[in-house]
Amino acid sequence: MRNVAVLEKDSAAESTSIGVDAATRSRARVAPRAYTADFVRVALFTLVVIGHCVNSINTASTLHVGGLVGTLCHLTRYGFVAVTLFVLVVSTREREMSPIAFWRRRFGLVVWPYLLWTLIYAITDHVVISGHPFGSASTELAELGRNLLTGDGKYQLYFLLISMQIYLAFPAISWLLRRVGHHPWRLVGGAAAIQISMFAVYQYAPRPSGSGWATFYDVAWKSLPMYALFVAIGALGAYHRDAVHDWLRDHAVTVLVAGLAGGTVTVIAYWLTTTPTSVPAAATTPWNPTLLPWLVGGFALLWMVAMWWNHHRGDGRGVVGRVVTYATPRAFGVFAVHPLVIDLLARAGYFTGIFTWFPQSGVTRAALLVVAVLGCSLLLVDVALRTPLSRILVGRDRIPLMRGSGTGVPASA
């Protein structure tokens, strides 16, 4: 999943590189688009919105089911990592690029949106959220500096820090793939050991004492070791792309059963550690080891669905194909702006309205909120796409206000 912004770029769109011949550049230009990855990323972005909407209106009456939905939606963060690596490996495998050239091309695509949205939320959290007034200038600047370092400007922005780490480490990951990519299970096993160890530390070990260690502990879950298994899954899935897709097609029933079994294990573990009136925080953490069967199985199921759709999508003019085509260049924008939309709807009284209209139906309330947040977010993204700041706001090139007007730069293919 390149980062959430760069995921929007065509996996084969970038053809300029250092030390690559014309034939390789030509192959890069005509490489097929990763439609399967497009489908997966759109699905993951939608699940992000669903998870945050459910969490924002969860009450005592919906605590149990809402907690389960939020827990299962943790799949998004790990799925994003896997798709990022998949797209990066696919888009760079046939051409040489120095680490400096790679970093120069990639970091600007995530750093500038990260800085801008952190600043935006530093302002809107005070303006939009009631009961949250501005502090002194020194207090606000100090808070902004901390948020820039920790990714806490808003609850979704931490993933851009993870994306930066992926970019930073990608030259080393590429080197490792070239050296030992033909031993995939060794890499998967080692990565799984790292991630499971991180899960165990965060799930079972007490929070360290001392301000230094406690501060490190509070941000270390945003480091790549916490996502190591999905780094390996995404990178190796791309490195052995044809073989992996052939295996998944040939063993579709086995993958389906295993994926559903993994999800069942996670759901049972959740129900055994919770009650309708009590959902301990430990049961809903994104690093609960009992979540791993679902994380792996759920991602495999989602990829299988995307493969099936890609195989049957024809010319892409079906309903799902049109949705994926429309949503792909807007997905990062929705990711960036949807918390602001949730805050605006809450301030405007929409939450009060849906609770008044449907006091007994948590599912209806959640569905209405998801639809409203997605619709408003897409509207804001379409506006942003037509401004000079489109590239750093929503990760896409500017779309002309009028078709054929000759102004602006059309969105990337």
> pLDDT above 70 covers what percent of the chain?
89
Alpha-carbon distance of 345 to 66, in angstroms, equals: 20
Given pLDDT bands bounded at 50, 70 and 90, which one contains residue 412?
A: very low
**Domain range summary for the chain, segments of one domain joined by +:** 6-394
Report the predicted TM-score, pTM, of the whole model to 2 decimal places. Answer: 0.86
pLDDT one-digit tens code per residue, 231-268:
999 999 999 999 999 999 999 999 999 999 999 999 99
Alpha-carbon distance of 355 to 335, in angstroms, equals: 25
pLDDT one-digit tens code per residue, 343-399:
999 999 999 999 999 988 989 999 999 999 999 999 999 999 999 999 999 988 888
Tokens of 332: 């990062």
* 3-class SS letters over the chain: CCCCCHHHCCCCCCCCCCCCCHHHHHHHHHCCCCHHHHHHHHHHHHHHHHHHHHHHCCCCCCHHHHHHHHHHCCHHHHHHHHHHHHHHHHHHCCCCCCHHHHHHHHCHHHHHHHHHHHHHHHHHHHHCCCCCCCCCHHHHHHHHHHHHHHCCCCCCCHHHHHHHHHHHHHHHHHHHHHHHCCCHHHHHHHHHHHHHHHHHHHHHCCCCCCHHHHHHHHHHCCCHHHHHHHHHHHHHHHHCHHHHHHHHHHCHHHHHHHHHHHHHHHHHHHHHCCECCECCHHHCCCCCHHHHHHHHHHHHHHHHHHHHHHHHCCCCCCHHHHHHHHHHHHHHHHHHHHHHHHHHHHHCCHHHHHHHHCCCCHHHHHHHHHHHHHHHHHHHHHHHCCCCCHHHHHCCCCCCCCCCCCCCCCCCC
Beta bridge partner(s), residue 134:
none
Given pLDDT bands bounded at 50, 70 and 90, which one contains residue 402?
A: low
In this prediction, residue 413 carries a pLDDT of: 32
Contact partners, residue 276, CB within 8 Å, separation at least 6: 63, 64
In this prediction, residue 18 carries a pLDDT of: 30
Tokens of 151: 């990714």
Is there a contact between 42 and 305 (Cβ–Cβ < 8 Å)?
no
Given pLDDT bands bounded at 50, 70 and 90, which one contains residue 314?
A: confident
pLDDT one-digit tens code per residue, 155-200:
999 999 999 999 999 999 999 999 998 999 999 999 999 999 999 9
In this prediction, residue 4 carries a pLDDT of: 42
